[in-house]
Each structure stands twice: as structure tokens, then as C-alpha cells.
A and B are shown apart, each in its own frame.
Chain A
Amino acid sequence: MIEARGVSRSYSDGEGGALRVLDAVDLLVQAGEFVAVVGRSGSGKSTLLHVVGGLDAQYQGEVTVAGQRLTGMNDAALSRFRNQQVAFVFQSFHLMPTLTVADNVALPAFFSAAPVNRTQGTLAALQRVGLADKKDRKPSQLSGGERQRVAIARALFTAPKVLLCDEPTGNLDAATGDAVIDVFRSLNREGLTILAVTHEERLRDAATRVLTLSKGKLS
């Protein structure tokens, strides 16, 4: 489902040099796997997620996800890929504060190439995370756990093949984090491929496979 070969990514260090955060990384994730990538802060976990999610195209190497070769894709094709094949769940939830829960969940519909039944899709996604009764609320009226479930509902709205999670429990207390992890487990049992980067043990324990990213290398 995810195949990355020899992926390298460098950033400017601000002093004329380059900081290599991914160094010829190889990654293979089979369909239906729940893989956790662990590593210290700044180890390049989020960068790896952005590369395989098509958010970052400034890398060297080859990346293929859900049968689509991302390397060399133009912006429009990468955008369609992000809209239809993958979905992100972030540590900071990244909900639009001025939109309702329902509008946040249906946000991908704005960029869909084909018409989408917004009402039905939103309701189904919110029911999946148990928040159908809060569709008209604003994110500020929800708890942290509820916000992350809204973010998961948004991710499920387009029925992606791969869910990419960036420290999804990082801003949640233990009990709320466990509830979110339960949702991921459930989704994975239903066949959804999940790649999560984290430094939390609970999420690592929930994964079917754990990889470690250190000094730009994946092991």
C-alpha cells in the first residue's frame, strides 16, 4: 500500500548548509497494516508522513502509495491524491474554528472532482466517531477528545485507503487518548491501512508493527 525507496529530505539550516532529516529511507507498508513510526522530536517523523501523504514533494527517492507513484506528480494530481486516497489526522486537530463540526467534516467535499453527497457523508462519518449529535457545534464548544474525533470523521469522509496520523494523541489526556486509539484499532480491523508517527507508548502498543526513525534512518 505504501512503498518508499531511498527517500531523502533536507532543509536549509539557515546558515547556508543543509539539514538532512530523512536519509535514504525505505518503507514498505502492506494494505491493512497499522504501522507506528516512533522517534524523538525532530527526528523527521512528520516529514516522512508529509512525503508519503503527498504534502511535501521536495524529496529525493521514489514514493508509491495506493498504487499511485507520487514522485514527479504535478500539484493538481497530488491534490487529487490527497483528496481521494489518503487522509491526515494531526496532533493539533487542525479544525477550522469558525466552521461548524459538520462543515469541518465536509471540508474535503469542496475539493472533490466528483459531486459528493455532503449531508449523508458527514452524518455517516460523525456517526462512526459517535458525534452525530454535535454536528452544529463549533470546535471551541468541544473537548479535546471530541475535536480529535471530528478530525478523524473528516479523515473518513472521503473513505481513504490510507490514514496518516501525526501524533494523534499528543494533545489528549490518557483516557481520551485511549478512546481515540480504540477508534484507530476499530478502523484498522475494518481494513483501513494506518501509518502513525508518535512517541507515545500507547499508540505504539496498538500498532501491528513498529518502526524507529533515528538520525534520518528507518529501522
Chain B
Amino acid sequence: MRASEWAALVKLSLARDKRFAVSSAFGITVGVASLVFFVGLGLGIGKLLREKVFPVDARLVEVVPPKLALGGLLGGGTIDETTVKRLSELPGVAQAFRKMNVRVPAVSRYDGDFFGRPLRMGLEVLAVGVDPALVKGDLLLGDFKDPGPSQPIPAVAASRLLEIYNKSFAPARGLPNLTPQLVTGLMIPVEFNRSFVTSSPGGTVTASQLQLVGVSQRGLLAGVTIPLETAKRINRASGVDAETFTAVTLLAASPGDVPGIVSAVKGLGLQVDDEEQQLAQNAAAVVVLITAAMALLSGLICLLAAVNIAHALAFAVRARARDIGIMRAVGASQADIRNWVLGEAAALGLVGGVVGTMLAIGAAVGIDIWVTRALPPFPFKPETFFDWPAWLWGAGVLLGTVAAFLGAWGPGRQAARIDPAAALAG
């Protein structure tokens, strides 16, 4: 049988029994809809975690001094320039970025206009100095280098901090939402060698200004990121360690180089701070687990739908035995009959797969709209909780078609084996 005639016959036979077609496609539709919905949700949540909540760059390795080391007791266990040089020469390392905390407390006392609203607050400020190259891609204003004493210090804020401010802090206090462009240039007063929570460390309190010059995913989450030379200068002026580094961020040439770098770092007696990666991995694992469970459940629905199609088609084949006999009499082969039954099922599966996929996407759009309207803003609240890669669309349609096709395999063979002479006589 030619393909065009096969398609015409399938269309004709489905059109003559619409109730059978609708009831058979319904199960497939439900199964595919639930599968596509849950997988889309899992992918969306995973993407949210990866890109917003835990924006971990898979090529970065954070190296810190060991928490407890014999070398530390003897004066070793630190990261100095020599160690940084050795780290930067490890195989697979493309770049090494030094980090040094400002090792004296600092506070900010803000009292003035804040984007058109009066704001008065005081808070402890944590600051880390980094090699400018680490954040240069996110700078929106000026150079990221030490400006020298009595000049505003360029500072980069963490993008997640801005998100928390916008979705949690600002709404509760009637403050405006801010974008990276808006906050760029903002001046924040800061006093080094002062603390609200600990006794005075001694030394001279130095008043300065922080000027925000950008927002970066690589910025310190609970503080500000400033140029490394500025941190050194402040530490030196305060009489604290200005030579050893708090951490070194290594940029691997590719994610595949990371395991080797981690191993080499540990071989040098240093530690890798992968707390953030672990959090991200744990969260991702939970999402994958839940998504897999839901997908399994949906797969079972599809399996049940396939069984339903098998039963419905087996019944239909028995009911159509005379029609099959007629078709055999006018020239249908066993293969034609089998392909006709399989074609009917595949068409039902195709329609069920397409409708199911569209239903899943429709439900997702509905949920996104509801969340947008009904839920208050919260940190990392996405525009959508779903992700729809092209392969998921294809997989939904393919699953429906394959499930129906498999369900029809037995009835198709059964139909092909019908004795036409007996069917016509009966």
C-alpha cells in the first residue's frame, strides 16, 4: 500500500469512529501532558537554581587555606604570592584571581536621600578585595583599581544581594526597586576600624566612601567587593596582615579540567571551598529526584494509556473482522491490515502527544500568570517556573506516538491474522 493511500485509509477509518478515537487519544493526552508538565517544571526549577539562586560558574575553583594544618601551627598554611604563582601554574588553570578580606571591621551609617526616599540606617560592612580582572566584565562605571586615600573606593555589589533587596528588603520598607544601572554611581559612607557588634579593635577610624561601579554574580554575597590593592592598603594602614590572601579563585580552561585542578590543589595542602557548589548540587539533586518521580508516574499513565489502546483496538479489530475481510478481498495484504491498525494508533498517539504537550504548556502559562498576580514578590521569583527546550516538545509528541504504536502492536498482528474467507462467511 502506498503511503498516501495508507494515510487516507487511516484518516477515513478514524473519522468513521470518532468516539473510539477520542477515548483512545484521551489517555495518551493525559499521560503526555503530565510528563511534559513535570519535566518542564523540573527543568525550569533547575535553571532557576543554576542561574539565579546558585549561579555557580562550573569553571571556577575557590582555593582557601587549610582550616587546620601543621604548617599553620608552624607559621605555614597560608596563601602568599609564591603559593598563588604555584596555583596559577597548575595544569588546566587559565587564570588565578587573588582575594583578600579587609581584616578590620567596618560600618556604614547612611542618613540621607535614597532614590527619592529618606533613609537612615547603620550596618556592618564586610569587604573583600579582588583582582580587578575577576569582575571587569560587570563594571558599568570607571576603573576598578585602588584610587588612593581620601578618594571614593570603587565597589561591586553581588547580583543576588540586589535581588534580595528588591524582593524582600525594599517592599517591606517602601523603598524603590533598583537595577544595576540605577545603583551604579551610588555613594555609601563607610568607616573602617569601627564596629556595631564588637568592641573597638583599636587603631584609627578611617572614614571613606564606597562608590558602586557595577553588580556581579562574582561579588561577595554579604558585603562589597573592592579592588585588591585597596584592601591591602586598608589592612596595611590598620596594622593587620596585608600580605597573605584569604582565597584564590582559579579559572579552569574548561569545566573538564576542574577535577584535576581540585586534586592538585589538595596536593599542595590547600582546601577547596565548594560549599556553594555543594548547595547547588544538593538542590539540583532534589529537583532531579522529584522530577524523575513525577516523570515515572507520568510514564506509568502513558503505559496505562497504551494498555487501554491495546484493549480498545483488540475489541475494534474483533468488531471490524468483516470489514477486514472485505479489505482483504479487494486486495489488502496482511501487512496492509497490520499497518492500517498501527497507523490508526500512531495517528491517535500523535494527536494525543501534540494535544498533551499543548495542554502542559497551557497549564504552565496559567500557573505562571497566577503566580505573577497572586504571590507577592520574593527573592529569585522567576518570570516562569518552566523551561521548554525544543527536545521536550519533540519528546512529548514522540512519547504519545510510541506508546500508542506499542499498544497497537498486538491488535495489529491479530488483525493481520484474521482469515478473510472466514470473516466474510461469518
Contact = CB atoms under 8 A, between A and B. Distances in A.
B172 interface: no
Contacts of A98: 16-17
Contact of A79 (B12, B322, B331): B331
Contacts of A88: 329-330
A111 B326 contact: no
Interface residues on A, range: 20 to 34
Contact of A94 (B322, B332, B336): B322
Contacts of B323: 96
A108 interface: yes
Given A46-B425, A94-B424, A103-B12, A111 B331 contact: yes
Scoring B6, B330, B333 by chain A CB atoms within 10 A of each residue's CB, the highest score goes to B330
Interface string B1-39: 110011011001000110000000000000000000000
Contact of B332 (A50, A79, A84, A90): A79
A43 to B, nearest CB: 14
A179 interface: no
If over half of A's interface residues share one DSSP class (helix, strand or loop), that class is named, otherwise mixed; here it is helix
A70 interface: no
B335 interface: yes
Interface in A82-135: 82-84, 87-88, 90, 94-96, 98-99, 103, 107-113, 115
Nearest to B1: A111
Contacts, number: 78
A155 to B, nearest CB: 9
A143 B425 CA distance: 22
A83 B12 CA distance: 20
When A and B form their complex, which 9 residue pairs have the shortest distance between CB atoms, in order from nearest?
A83-B331, A79-B333, A111-B331, A98-B16, A108-B330, A50-B421, A110-B5, A56-B421, A111-B332
Interface of B: 1-2, 5-6, 8-9, 12, 16-17, 322-323, 325-336, 420-421, 424-425
29 contacts: A55-B421, A75-B333, A76-B333, A78-B333, A79-B328, A79-B331, A79-B332, A80-B331, A82-B329, A82-B330, A82-B331, A83-B330, A83-B331, A94-B322, A94-B329, A95-B326, A98-B17, A103-B12, A107-B330, A108-B330, A110-B5, A110-B6, A110-B9, A111-B1, A111-B332, A111-B333, A112-B5, A154-B330, A158-B330
